[in-house]
Amino acid sequence: MKKTLYLVTLIVIAFSGSAFAEIYKRVDADGRITYSNIKTKGATRLDFDPDANTISNSRPKGTDSAPSANKRSPTPESFPRVDKQTQNQRDSKRQDILQSELDAEKVALEEAKKAYAEGESKPEVYKAANGATMRNVPKFQEKMKSLQADVDSHENNIKLLQKELDNLR
């Protein structure tokens, strides 16, 4: 037992060192960038400082503990701009799509509620060895759990779609 523990400890120590691989970057004729650990023609080796890859939980002094959702970086000048009419058309199409999805979810919710009510009215039963009819409670509970999850899913989708539509208005 001690020999096995000693052997396992040696193996763990031998392989516990930090891993390091050379990384190569290649840009093809179409401008696509490929990273690989295999050197290919036209690839350049990237140098990384192994200590720079550590993640720190400390924040720079003078910053808030939670980033503000209202702080936005400025839009670059080269960013494509859309005129107001085109943006309004896009917003209108998006609103129409969201509304049709909301209507479809409402229909699906009603169907899920009907399936739940139908499942609730039909308990799971089985025939015992003596011929008596018995209730299969675990199977019934599993069926009802699945039907309830379906109803909850549609209700959540409706809530989220309604929230999204309210944000557009």
Domain segments of the chain as ranges: 21-51, 84-168
| 75-121 tens-digit pLDDT | 888 888 889 999 999 999 999 999 999 999 999 999 999 999 999 99
CATH of 84-168, one of 1.10.10, 1.10.287, 3.40.50, 3.30.70: 1.10.287
The model's pLDDT over 3-37, given as tens digits with 9 standing for 90+, comes to: 787 777 777 676 665 556 688 888 888 888 888 88
Q: What's the whole-number average pLDDT of the chain?
A: 82
Q: End-to-end CA distance of the chain, in Å?
A: 71
Assessment of whether the complete model's pTM goes beyond 0.75: no
From CA 67, how far away is CA 57, in angstroms rounded? Answer: 14
Q: How far apart are CA 127 and CA 134, in angstroms?
A: 6
CA 29 to chain CA mean position, Å: 34
pLDDT(61) > 80:
no
